[in-house]
Amino acid sequence: MFTKSIFPLLFYILFLSARSGAAMTVSQPGCEQRENPLGVDVPQPRLNWILESSERGDRQTAYQILAASSEAALKKNRGDIWDSGKVISDDTIQIPFAGQPLKSSQQIFWKVRVWDAAGKVSAWSPTASWTMGVLAGGDPPSSDFGAAGWQAKWITAPTNASSILLRREFTVKNGLRRAIVHVCGLGQYELSANGKKVGDDLLAPGWTQYKKTCLYDTLDLTSQLHRGQNAVGLILGNGMYHIGGDKVRYVKFRQSFGPLKAIAQIQLDYADGTSEIIGTDASWPAGASPTTFNDIFAGEDFDARLVQKGWDESGFQMVAKWLPSKETSGPGGTLKGLSCAAPPIRAIEMLQPIAAKVLSTNVIIYDLGQNVSQMPRLTVSGARGSFVRIIPAELLKPDGTVDRASCTQDGVRPAWWQYTLSGDGDEHWFPKFFYQGCRYYQVELQPANGGGSLPKIKKLEGVVVHSSAKPIGEFETSNQLFNRIYQLVRWAQRSNMMSLMTDCPHREKLGWLEETHLNGPSLRYNFDMAALLQKTMNDMADAQLPNGFVPNIAPEFFIASKTNLTDAFRNSPEWGGAFVMVAWQQFQFDGNTALLRRYYEDMKRYVAFLGSTATNHIVTTGLGDWYDLGPKPPWGSQLTPPALTATAFYQHYNWILARTAELLGQPDEAKHFNELAEKICTAFNDKFFNPTTRQYATGSQCANSLAVVMNLVEPTNRAAVLEAIVADVRGRGNALTAGDVGYRYLLRALAENGRSDVIFDMNNQSEKPGYGYQLKMGATSLTEKWDAGVGNFGSQNHFMLGQINEWFFHDLGGIAIDPAHPGFKNILIRPQPVGDVTWAKCAYNSIPGRIAVEWKSVDGKFSLSVKIPANTTATVFVPTTNLKTLTEGGRSVEKVAGVKLLREEISGAVFQVSSGNYQFASEWAAKHP
């Protein structure tokens, strides 16, 4: 929960008498930080809501929650499942359900009202609901469904295939009130009912270490069923579960967790209070799929001649090729629902080709205009047996054909979608099991065997597919290059935001872990990452070995070395330490200790493993500042010793464990980790600090910045180390050298010490490797290498170097977390006007509500508009050269209730304010160091 503080109460008391008495409103009620979720598989779901008020300084003083078994009961204000009564509290998130014990598949309706700062009660929130998943873990079956457990069995086809169909007919009686299904289809599945797809999800379920965790989804079937005979169908594909079919096409690696299989149970609830369960078993027939090939790296082939019309509808006449399915066991993983699931992948938007160039009679190049994770939507007509092959790529060769060099390790092997026509007029196709990061489609038209006419493309679109995590950040500035950089990074974030954060959406599609924390703030300022990163924490826990080691990748589909834990490609502390960093960053952003509590013991085991590999507290294994800019082509860490970065992070993890132990009420453990962190800090300085140069190791941007940001520098040396960072950047003509690990810390070292002017000069250019240079070279999403891979193609869609977006929000815009009040309970507003930027505006939908900042600097005048959500406070820095001219709402700040001057600084003044909207204005002339 939020850290408590007495000072906000003092401000509220000062102006309560001036309030108009308008009650606050409650909106966006959520469960497990989702809207009306299905499949909640924790016994005490956590509830949350947002407060809105037109009054400055308004706050929640109490709340009441009603939870009921029906909407009718709730409308009568009857909480037959839970009535919390009036609870004196200002908490609005992570409120644990404390009503009657919940059952599998149960639907709960709820609402909340609150009391404001004046003691007035609000209206009830909109009605919300959540639906429970299956509460028992483990492999089915369980006979006690009423309380928990599965009443279904894993099933598979009697013969192996790249894709299979499963179906089941059943009767629905009169009075159907609700129908839901819990379903897991491995590797990927699509469910249909009475001939229509159920829901909007794609590539479900999320990828996991299937021997540890298998995710199931909960879907509502009610609107798609009717009285009488009904049918459901499941089509299964490979996903990350089975890789390595066609040797001609590209695969990153080969692996299999076994044959395709599924488990599902449908629950039919009737108005008379009865229920019926229909679970998967041997009575579900299995048939051949028209998807003849699918591989998450190599592509997907679909033969429309093999479509069996009506296969997922009632009354379908099965032919001999349909056989009884086989009951089997799962791959070993525990079935889990929303507690470990990322937001579903969905079609987000449509791209129309901006150009179509005919290279020959049967080859056309379509330019979608944007490099992004996508799947094609095709409309085509032609002769039966003719086919369309769509080869995706990020780049083009000089001859105009697609260049797969950035999409594969060898630069040669292709991947494609292929559709074979049935010859039945206009045909429509959208793939199910393969997506790719690309900008271009090379469309190859082929006649049927024996020749004939070519198929004709009627329409071809690119469907952008990625996680449905909510966008929650907005940023814009007067500097158009910065606006383009922001979008460049954001496109790469989107492209790699699947059921895990992938490194790239084509060549690897793997969860390299360093990106989740080095880009953690940049991601969180743009999207609601709580659910996706909760899933990532489960992936890391599943990947952890008994000795505490956490690999660089999770889920660990690709293992660099199964026996050698000194192999940096499997063991690098900056990567595996995401297990500590992700949980800590999430606590900072939402004030919730849940992840820290759940994984604290596992986090300790990981840090203890690092300690076991250290010599005199120095850790030497690791990749270091990956892809920094040195004299050689990007690879490894050229300018910074890997031991320096590894040891710096090892110290930082101990520091975090100490803070975590304090939060969890473990003072003895906090003392232990603090003492260990101090010892590592001493060893770090003894090993790497050069008292002559007053720099660390090689004096690289990464080495010095890590030491500054992680407080490893002795106070007497701090100014000298910071100046060395500035001098290095300036001495290179305002060029960066820091790579994957170091760049975030370079930005933080400069911004936190008043040198955003250096950041501006480093990034407001297009001539040296960096963001502007990538844009100049034609990139539309952030590339893997600072130089855009010129002459040595790297991925053209990588988000790993996207830390600038944190600076845009945190520093240029000025929305920051107060470390003393996590979860934006007290908000730090500190814009940093810099360079030629004359205005900036950003907004962030934080866990308590919407924060918005807009500032302008014109002709010696500075204006700052700030929106602070109800139930919070803020510390606001206003640039000014003359405090006497500073006003709020046109009045001297001294006369404004709820605005208190905390201190004056050289370049401005700092105020404490209550919630509400503020308009500051002052005299100010930009000064640069």
Query: How big is the chain, counted in residues?
Result: 929
CA pair distance 203, 466, nearest whole angstrom: 10
Full DSSP string of 464-487: EEEE-PPB-EEEEES-HHHHHHHH
Q: For the purposes of burial, counting CB atoms within 10 Å of the CB of 766, is it exposed (0-12), middle (13-18) or buried (19 or more)? A: middle
CA pair distance 175, 207, nearest whole angstrom: 38
Tell me what pLDDT residue 247 has.
63
Number of Cα atoms under 13 Å in the Cβ half of residue 843: 10
Single out the residue of 783, 793, 740, 743 nearest to residue 763, CA to CA.
743
Single out the residue of 687, 518, 559 nearest to residue 616, CA to CA.
687
Answer whether 289's CB lies under 8 Å from 163's CB: yes
Helix (H, G, I), strand (E, B) or coil at 512: strand
Tell me what pLDDT residue 8 has.
42
Cross-strand bridge partners of residue 265: 182, 279
Kindly report, residue by residue over 855-900, the tens digit of the pLDDT. 999 999 999 999 999 999 999 999 999 888 999 999 999 889 889 9
Tell me what pLDDT residue 561 has.
81
CA pair distance 414, 433, nearest whole angstrom: 17
Q: Which amino acid is at 759?
A: I
Contacts of 896 (CB under 8 A, 6+ apart): 888, 889
Kindly report, residue by residue over 408-466, the tens digit of the pLDDT. 877 778 899 999 999 999 999 999 999 999 999 999 999 998 788 999 999 999 999 99
**381 pLDDT above the threshold of 80:** yes
Average pLDDT of the residues in 280-295? 96
Tell me what pLDDT residue 791 has.
62
Answer whether 180's CB lies under 8 Å from 214's CB: no
Tell me what pLDDT residue 21 has.
46
What's the mean per-residue pLDDT of the chain? 93
Tell me what pLDDT residue 174 has.
96
Pairing, β 38-40 against β 46-52: unpaired
Helix (H, G, I), strand (E, B) or coil at 579: helix
Tell me what pLDDT residue 12 has.
41
Kindly report, residue by residue over 597-614, the tens digit of the pLDDT. 999 999 999 999 999 999
Tell me what pLDDT residue 452 has.
87
Please calculate the CA angle 293-208-255 and round it to the nearest 5 degrees.
Answer: 45
- How far CA 331 is from CA of 184, 263, 818, in Å, comes to 12, 11, 45
Average pLDDT of the residues in 827-848? 97
**141 pLDDT above the threshold of 80:** no
Tell me what pLDDT residue 246 has.
60
